[in-house]
Amino acid sequence: MILIPQRLFDSPQVRTIMRQGNVCILQKSLDAPVVQREGYISNHVISIVQSGEQQIRTYDDNLITVKPGEALFIPRGVYYVTDLLPDSGNFESILFYFDDQLIHEFLSNTKVKEVNRKAVPDHLKFGNVPSLQSFVAALLQIYGSHSIPQEGLLQLKILELLLLLNGLVGEERFANFLFQLTLPQKRNIRTFMEQNYDKPLKVEDYAYLTGRSESTFRRDFKQYFNGTPQQWLREQRLDKALRLLQHQEMSVTDLAYEVGYENISYFIRAFKNKVGLSPKQYMLSLHRNRIKH
């Protein structure tokens, strides 16, 4: 699993149009397809496909297809992403990533007095709308090739995009959808954690993805697992690392990523505290034992 948009910032196939932290506008251009790449999208995103086709598979196994000119608005979460190239040329899309703070700012100016939490879709998809295409074309022309001070401007451009979408779907429906983004679907903690403990996620990410505040998540987690999330995650991840090494040789970096650690030094320390040996020392001891037998 990769963290998005964090992993995209260093990609040679992604150009940053504007960025402040993980709130950003990116242009992605691929010359080879990406198939079923699992990613944790850490901010809400609006993806506008310019060429090729994008397929998004949700945690609940729903498949969403986005064709050229279409736009998709999905909340942050775990997805499988497939980017397909057209018959000739590159896959291209414009990506707008933003957080709850921008949503609250937008909703503070809405005329909708009361939101409806029922029957709200889990995503919004927009067809080939001229106003969206004009917005993207102007954005790329003005900000794609000029160095312009971005302080405050990034938020204004994303708010402008939200305002455009608001006009396309209707203020009440759009307000309901935006509000729902801050109230993710509640999921069974045991099932979700046992399926996703080896992902590079933090406790607050697991809380969000299971539809809870962090304090509620910690309380519910203790009822299911009789311990803290950090302790349980560490044990599960290190146990998986040991199982993997019983069957194959891996670099320490690959091993760490495979079990959900992005900080390699932290993984080595945690492994040594559990086993008494560093991962390399443990692999050497396994190798010597195999030779003897």
Q: What is the pLDDT of residue 249?
A: 86
Q: What is the pLDDT of residue 150?
A: 65
Complete domains list, the chain, with CATH: 2-181 (2.60.120.280), 189-292 (1.10.10.60)
Amino acid at 208: Y
Q: Are 158 and 221 in contact (CB under 8 A)?
A: no
Span 51-75, pLDDT tens digits:
999 999 998 889 999 999 999 999 9
The answer, yes or no, to whether residue 134 has pLDDT greater than 80, is yes
Span 141-200, pLDDT tens digits:
988 776 666 668 999 999 999 999 999 998 889 998 998 887 777 889 999 999 999 999
Enumerate the β-bridge partners of residue 4.
Answer: 41
pTM of the shown model:
0.85
